[in-house]
């Protein structure tokens, strides 16, 4: 495992309601779900893209904090 793999980009997800789903999706020739988490209101998760995770899907009301700015999933 290289340093680039370990030091991938981090972002923060803060749930604004109960039941926010965070779904990690795989890299490779087929995109598949490989990990899910459920957050309740006020919970925070720090996530990272890795050699296995190329995308994240967020379902529910949440705020994402990234180096590119702040993103609200629903207004």
- Tens digits of residue pLDDT in 25-64: 887 777 777 788 999 999 999 988 777 777 888 999 999 9
* Residue 8 pLDDT: 67
Residue ranges covered by each domain of the chain: 3-72
CATH, range 3-72: 2.60.40.50
* Residue 29 pLDDT: 73
* Residue 30 pLDDT: 73
Those residues with Cβ within 8 angstroms of residue 2's Cβ, 6 or more apart along the chain or in another chain: none
How buried is 67 (Cβ within 10 angstroms: 0-12 exposed, 13-18 middle, 19+ buried)?
A: exposed
* Residue 32 pLDDT: 76
How buried is 55 (Cβ within 10 angstroms: 0-12 exposed, 13-18 middle, 19+ buried)?
A: exposed
């Amino acid at each position: 495992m290289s340093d680039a793999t370990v030091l991938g980009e981090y972002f923060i997800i803060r749930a604004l309601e109960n039941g926010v789903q965070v779904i990690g999706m795989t890299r490779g020739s087929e995109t598949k779900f490989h990990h899910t988490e459920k957050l309740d209101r006020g919970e925070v998760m720090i996530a990272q893209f890795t050699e296995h995770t190329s995308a994240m899907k967020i379902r529910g009301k949440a705020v994402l904090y990234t180096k590119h700015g702040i993103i609200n999933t629903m207004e």
